Amino acid sequence: MHKLDNLDLTAKLVLAVVTGAAIYLIAVPLAMLLFAAFRGPADYLPFEPGARWTLEHVQALFTDPVIYTRILPDTFIFVAGTVVVAFAIGFGLAWLVERTDLPAREIWFALILFPLLVPAPVLAIAWIFLMGPNAGWLNLAIRAALGLDGSGPINIFSMGGLILCQALASAPFIFLLLSATLRTMDPALEEASGASGASPLTTFGRVTLPVLLPGLLAPLILITLITAEQFELPLIIGLPAKINVFSYRIYFELNPLSSLPNYGAAAALSLPFVVLGVLLLMLYNRLIRRADSFVTMTGKGYRQRRLPLGAWRIPALALAALYVTLAAVLPAAVLLWTSFFGYALPLSATSADFSLEAYRQLFANRAFWLGLRNTFLVALASALIVTAIGGLLGWIISRSQIRFRHVLDFVSVLSIGIPAVIAGLGVMLLYLSLPIGLYGSVAILIIAYSYRFATTTRLARAGFLQIHKELEEASATSGARWLATLRRVLIPLMLPALSAGFILLFIVGVREFTIPLVLYSQDNVVLSVLLWQLFQSGQPAPSAALASIIVAVVLPVIFVARRTLARRTLAE
Amino acid sequence: MAPWPCRAPVIGAAALAMALAACAAGAQSLDQDKVKALHAAAKKEGQVIIWGTQRREVEWIPAAFGKLFSGIDVQFLGDNDIAVKAIAEARAGRHQVDVYQNSLTGTLPLVQRDLLANIDWSLFGIDSRNIAFDGKMAYTSNIVYTVAYNNKLAKDADAPKDWIGILDERYKGKGASSTFLLPRLIGALGLAWGDDKALQFARDIVAKTNLLLTRAPRESLLQSGERVYAFGEIDSLIRAVAAEGLPVSQVVPQPVVVGQFGATIMKNAPHPNAARLLAGFLASPEGKAARLEATSQADYGPTSDNEFAKALHSGAMQVVWDRPDNMAAREALFGRAAAILTGQSR
């Protein structure tokens, strides 16, 4: 473990900058969150003249019976159900793609990520078209096939329907995060277990699962908190089903459908997220205390071996195909269809209904080109910033003995506890109050997006736990300085984990909706916001065309990124 | 397909023609020396930025405005939250928006914060009855709340005759509403019914109707057959999508609820001359005619001469009008209704 005194000047400078940037980028939204929770009256900004300290928001939160009788129970069921289903789907798919000889793995990899590419409101609408109880395409097909009358049998407007849809939407998060862990796992341990006579189930329970535990916990923590702050699907699918979750309540305080936002109430409501993050962090730290137990990548070479599926190949393919059909193919078909045929339904449409008008309108729209540029600029820049800072934070936390490393770990994981809507709000409040010209610019979006260190830090930390210290020691013994060791030893080995984090952040940046919705103005509009405007304005064809373009642009990025990274890893 | 049923006065092609005729009659309102001088000054500014509540309501403006007033680049933003954004920008000392177009309730917070400028609307020949907030706003158009339905799955006679009728058992599981519009409708109904009855109406909707309360376009749900009725729709939107070929019609239940929209300019508008010119255009007969043609949004105000406007003003039906003096009460009520409808309070 590195002590601060033992590090060279370059290392100290780099780590100081990283630490300062992390604290600034995370502490600002958090400070604004805490500050706003105790400032009032309701429609006052925290810094505004006339604002005062108050407990009214916290009191209102804890004395509201709706919170206890409705919102908390619904939230718990929604989050628990989604996490279980999404984790099962995501883990299963990641294992099939990364550890077995499933055919066409590159294609599955990209298709599985589809729900990550599409802004959630569009997916929700596509699923309503598919699973609406009265006229959903799937329900119509099932009723016709079984000779049933009435509505259903699938009812998307139910807790089960909401959980299913959210799990379909969230499973790619799990898949992407677990892929990196599964890809870098040394199969020698499993082989040794098998050679010792252990059954596959025993090997999985006693070897595979304990080895993967750090890599499993990070996505588990992440998906729990991400699910808890979801509001798009609860809004579109849950609200009509009378399902009322915590995140929607926060959204409601910021968008009360009537008067101005109640920033203080929204901030006060967000405090439980922070508490939840702290509790999960403590649980996580306890579970990974014996870090050395989980080292799976050493200085010794190993070869990748994939489990032959044999007779299970067809069921495995069917499982992957079922997910991809529900989460990607059918929603994409709905989007494409709507972009070309508008309101016309498949059974009644004729060739005369086909039109490219939606695309023509879109390409003639100045906001589209501005949004396209802004979207990629913000997603790329923020993903780079967070990957760089998060990776180094992971090193500080897992490799150094710097005194404040636990504080950094704590601050990093807190970023999960800040819902995007609150993070956007915090940044907005700050830069509305600071006359430095950032409000309304693309730069403010980059800053606002760049607070989610937890993903990269968790991934990096799990990755560092799998890299034995002997590699760094060998490099140092050979005369390499800290920066050289980082560049020539650690980064190449960490590439799968860091690239997974980068891809995830880039995709999240491309589809990010909440933060730009809070912060957008004339000049910094992004595609997701433009899509929402088109959608809400009752222009389904242009919004579907825009969604199709987003998918068409981002899908090749996934292929190229993964192939490039695979080659680089192989070359190293 | 007739856009309006017999239950309400018909406003179809004939009314549209009348509105356009009215435009021709008032076509000289923007053809005066003072307006020409204002145009010249606005051209020097080169640009004007307008914010409205929906893309549909503003995206037609650059082309229509450009036909009469060349040399001015019109940029727009369409979003339900423009009141919040405009107030936030003003607090930050950032002044980007010139013309602010919203409903009376959506404009009230800006009036209360003294963010809007006074305009001499007489320059554009605008009747004083179409001016509100002490000269800060001129009326541009109205909306009427309706019940829309899929006319392949239901008939005009099937639709509710009054708003309380949507609680009927036969509509259970068949209706959809906008989370944004329905509370506003209930707020307006409260002006006619009283607060208690309106709020109980909101509770009954939650308890009895299995309503699909959504921000998604309801016309898509109607067209697919997922829902048969959309309660609390906007007349112009339904007319527009019907014209695009959707199988939707609408009725106007009693009491008739009419919303009022208008144009204002910001006190710190970066392009003050262009802002005045655009706001004047939007409130002028020419602007109203262009809006009707582009968006189906009509003017039902006291100076309008279309048939439905005349019927509304005839006293033959109960009408709840948006007025500056009842906005605060309505806003407070629809805030409470929104909380009930979305499950945030009981």
Contacts of A173 (CB under 8 A, 6+ apart): A86, A90, A116, A219, A222, A223, A226, A504
User: Helix or strand or coil: residue B175?
Assistant: strand
How far is the first Cα of chain B from the last one, in angstroms, to the nearest whole number? 41
* pLDDT-based confidence at residue B95 (cuts at 50, 70, 90): confident
> Residue A125 above 90 pLDDT?
no
pLDDT of residue A435: 66
pLDDT of residue B226: 85
Chain B segment 129-158 residues within 8 A of A by beta carbon are none
pLDDT tens sequence across A299-309? 455 556 677 77
Structure-block tokens of residue A451 = 């607070």
| Averaged pLDDT for residues B34-43 | 93
> Residue A411 above 70 pLDDT?
yes
pLDDT of residue A563: 61
Quickly list DSSP for A458-506: HHHHHHHHTB-HHHHHHHHHTT--HHHHIIIIIHHHHHHHHHHHHHHHH
pLDDT of residue A286: 66
pLDDT of residue B114: 93
- pTM score of the predicted model: 0.79
Contacts of A41 (CB under 8 A, 6+ apart): A50, A51, A52, A54, A56
Residue A224 near residue A8 (C-beta atoms within 8 A): no
How many other C-beta atoms are found inside a 10 Å radius of the C-beta of residue A570? 8
Residue B74 near residue B51 (C-beta atoms within 8 A): no
pLDDT of residue B300: 92
> Residue A526 above 60 pLDDT?
yes
pLDDT of residue A296: 52
pLDDT of residue B26: 46
pLDDT of residue A477: 79
Long-range contacts of B61-67 (CB under 8 A, 24+ apart): B61/B278, B61/B282, B64/B287, B64/B290, B64/B291, B64/B294, B65/B278, B65/B281, B67/B290
* pLDDT-based confidence at residue B234 (cuts at 50, 70, 90): very high
- Whether the ipTM is more than 0.85: the answer is no
SS (H, E, C) A511-531: HCCHHHHHHCCCCCCCHHHHH
pLDDT of residue A313: 87
pLDDT of residue B18: 44
pLDDT tens sequence across A475-505? 777 777 777 887 887 888 888 778 878 887 8
- Dihedral sign of CA atoms B200, B203, B204, B209 in order: positive
pLDDT tens sequence across B181-210? 999 999 999 999 999 999 999 999 999 988
| Averaged pLDDT for residues A414-428 | 74
Contacts of B208 (CB under 8 A, 6+ apart): B167, B169, B172
- Note whether A236 contacts B215, CB cutoff 8 Å: yes
CA A120 to CA A125: how far, in whole Å? 9
CA B155 to CA A330: how far, in whole Å? 33
Q: B3 or A424, which is more confident? A: A424
* pLDDT-based confidence at residue A1 (cuts at 50, 70, 90): low
pLDDT of residue B14: 39
pLDDT tens sequence across B115-170? 999 999 988 989 999 999 999 999 999 999 999 999 999 999 999 999 999 999 99
Contacts of B189 (CB under 8 A, 6+ apart): B163, B198, B201, B255, B257, B320
Round the average pLDDT of chain A to a whole number and report it: 80
Chain B touched by A172 (CB under 8 Å): no
Chain B segment 256-295 residues within 8 A of A by beta carbon are none
Mutation target among A258, A341, A432 for the B interface, most CBs of B within 10 A: A258
Percent of chain A with pLDDT over 70: 86
> Residue A333 above 70 pLDDT?
yes
A230-234, A292-296, A345-349, range with the lowest pLDDT = A292-296
* pLDDT-based confidence at residue B327 (cuts at 50, 70, 90): confident
Long-range contacts of A478-485 (CB under 8 A, 24+ apart): A481/A8, A481/A10, A481/A11, A482/A7, A482/A8, A482/A10, A482/A11, A483/A10, A483/A11, A483/A14
Q: Which residue type, as a one-letter code, is found at position A26?
A: I
- Note whether B214 contacts A435, CB cutoff 8 Å: no
Residue A257's closest chain B neighbor by CA? B180
> Residue B283 above 90 pLDDT?
yes
| Averaged pLDDT for residues A63-83 | 91
Partners of residue B50 on adjacent β-strands = B76, B99
Mutation target among A157, A514, A536 for the B interface, most CBs of B within 10 A: A536
Chain A segment 308-347 residues within 8 A of B by beta carbon are 342-345
> Residue A454 above 90 pLDDT?
no
- Note whether B343 contacts A70, CB cutoff 8 Å: yes
CA A261 to CA A248: how far, in whole Å? 14
Q: B176 or A216, which is more confident? A: B176
pLDDT tens sequence across A16-46? 888 888 888 888 777 877 888 888 887 777 7
Q: Which of A96-105, A299-308, A533-542 has the highest mean pLDDT?
A: A96-105
pLDDT of residue A561: 61
- Note whether B244 contacts A431, CB cutoff 8 Å: no
pLDDT of residue A287: 63
pLDDT tens sequence across A343-373? 676 767 788 888 899 999 899 888 899 999 9
CA A36 to CA B121: how far, in whole Å? 41
Q: What angle do CA A156, A162, A168 make, to 5 degrees?
A: 100
Q: Chain A contacts of B80, Cβ < 8 Å?
A: 536
Q: Chain B contacts of A540, Cβ < 8 Å?
A: 217, 220
CA B205 to CA B164: how far, in whole Å? 10
pLDDT of residue B20: 39
* pLDDT-based confidence at residue A259 (cuts at 50, 70, 90): low
pLDDT of residue B146: 96
Q: Which of A86-100, A453-467, A494-508 has the highest mean pLDDT?
A: A86-100
Q: Which of A274-288, A336-350, A397-411, B252-266 has the highest mean pLDDT?
A: B252-266
| Averaged pLDDT for residues A156-184 | 87
Mutation target among A431, A517, A537 for the B interface, most CBs of B within 10 A: A537
pLDDT of residue A502: 86
